[in-house]
Every structure is written in structure tokens, then in C-alpha cells.
Structure 1
Amino acid sequence: MSTSPRATLEQLRAVNQTAAFNRWCGIEVTAAEPGRAEISMPFKRDTGQYAGFLHAGLVGALIDTACGYAAATVAGRVLASHYSVNCLRPAVGERFSARARVIKAGRSQVFTACELFAHDAEGERLVATGETILSVVGDEASA
């Protein structure tokens, strides 16, 4: 089994641009180093729910994406096999950033954790946390 190369910041940015959903959301990869990744996204009216908060589905998507990118920095290609999200308060802000880190990387699974922050003129507030388990995907799994 061959292993995928570890992703760099430039590679994550390139992969991010190939995802139509990420482009629609305005997700950008702002930082990456081995075992860590950070993404950000501006709030758009289209991403809100009925009360004007960031939709919980997007909260989960930001956590899942940031964790996947953090895992890719140590394991190459990965796919989420499980993730959980804890919404701590309404996600209200002008911009959101998700900061993910690898907790443990194994040969077949990578465990990660993430914090999601809302940003506005008053600063940043923690609005959600999450964890993922990602499966390492070998090059031969592209079927």
C-alpha cells in the first residue's frame, strides 16, 4: 500500500479551491503546519438559518473541513468516518475561523479536535467545538 504525501499549506489551498461547496461558502485555508490547520469563512446571509445565526450544518462543515485539513498535514489523503459537534452558543459574527489539531495519528485513523470562533468588531468568541475520526485513504482507493 502506498501512502499519500503529507499536505502543505499550498496543497491544501489548491484542494480547497477544487471544492465547489467550499468556494460557495467562501472558505479559505489561512494556516497549516504539521498536525494543525486553520480555515476561515465570512458570514453570508445565504449561510444563516431562520434567526440569522450561522446554520448548524455549516458549523459542522467548518469543523469537518478544518479537521480533515489538519489530518492531511500528517497523513495525506483522508476521509471522515465520524465527527461530532458541540454548539456552545449561537454562531453570530462577521467571520468564522476553525482551528483544528491532530490528537493522535495512526496508520489507518487520525483523531482530531477543533474549535470554531466567531469574529466581529468586539473580538472573537468560541461558538462550537468538535472532534473527528478520519480514515487514511491510500492512492489505490480512488475508485
Structure 2
Amino acid sequence: MADGDPEAIDFLTLLRGVNETAPFNRWAGFVVSAAGDGTAELWLPWRAELGQYSGFLHAALVAGMIDTACGFAAATVVGQVLAAQCSVNFLSPAVGDEFVARAVVVKAGKRQVFTTAELFAERDGASKLVATGTTILAVPA
């Protein structure tokens, strides 16, 4: 395989390195748990300082996980991207011991990448869908 061939790239190692350079991601505790061609998965363990006043995962962290997972999924297809639009649907209070965001590229163009993601709260072996989201990511010139 030639250099630059998407199949030759270890996306998981690459995105873990990128994740470590982002101060917000480090503070939040995001972990890149899976990555492939057009896909990415983030994992976040619960800790009290991530909660809002009722003890749920704060909406900013829900949106941050969706945005980051979508950006990483897009990066596996086109490289560096910038958020142009992010929309989050909060379906249920995000209560769990850990959270998993799974993102997939829906369509990648020359200038924009469209993605979608789901966020799950996990507790006692059960997984519950708590949010969905979409992003449009711009490909820098």
C-alpha cells in the first residue's frame, strides 16, 4: 500500500495522538476507543465535576463528545477539519458510569463533510441512547 492510502493509516493511534493535543479533551477525559475509515468512537468515564446541578452529564459535555467524535470520524476521511455546524438532540438525561459516542461520515465532499453521531450512557451492563447529533465540518483550504 502506498503512503497516504487510508487503509495503510492506523487511525486509532493517529486520533489518540490528536486527542492528547487538545486541552479540552484532556480536561474532560475523552478517550478515543475506536477509529476506522469514516468512523470514530469516544469513551468518557463519569466523574462528578462533569455533571450539571441534577447530577446528569452536562449538556456541554454531551455536545462536546458528539462534536469531537464527528470531527475525528471526518478526519479519517479528509484529514484536518473545522466545525461549521453542530446540532444535538438531547433524548434523555445522560446518567451513567461511562459514556460512548459513535460517529460516522454520511458524505464527504471536497469542502464539507457531513456526519452523524449517537451518544450512549452505560450503567450496570445496560446501554441507553441519550443523545444524537449531526455536524457539518469544513475542510480548510
TM-score with structure 1 setting the length: 0.91
2:91 matches 1:83: no
Match for residue 15 of structure 1 among 18, 27, 38: 18
Cα deviations by residue, 1:39-67 (Å, 9 ceiling, x for unpaired): 00011111100000000111000000000
Structure 2 letter corresponding to 1:112:
T
Match for residue 36 of structure 2 among 33, 36, 40: 33
Structure 1 letter corresponding to 2:107:
K
Structure 1 letter corresponding to 2:118:
E
Match for residue 132 of structure 2 among 129, 133, 136: 129
Aligned to 2:117: 114
Structure 2 letter corresponding to 1:103:
V
Structure 1 letter corresponding to 2:55:
G
Aligned to 1:99: 102
Structure 1 stretches of 5 or more lacking a match?
139-143
Identical positions, percent: 57
**Count of residue correspondences:** 135
Say if 1:80 and 1:132, in contact at 8 Å, map to a contact too. Answer: yes
The structure, 1 or 2, with the larger RCO (C-alpha pairs under 8 Å, 6+ apart) is 1
Q: CA deviation at 1:5?
A: 8.5
**Distance in 1 separating the partners of 2:13 and 2:95:** 30
What value does the CA root-mean-square deviation take over the aligned residues?
A: 1.5
Call closer, same or farther: CA 1:78–1:5 in 2, change over 3 Å.
farther
Q: CA deviation at 1:122?
A: 4.0
TM-score with structure 2 setting the length: 0.92
Where 2:53 maps in the other structure, the secondary structure is coil
Cα deviations by residue, 1:10-36 (Å, 9 ceiling, x for unpaired): 110001011111111110000000010
Match for residue 75 of structure 2 among 72, 76, 80: 72
Structure 2 stretches of 5 or more lacking a match?
none
Say if 1:5 and 1:75, in contact at 8 Å, map to a contact too. Answer: no
Match for residue 46 of structure 1 among 23, 43, 49: 49
Structure 2 letter corresponding to 1:68:
G
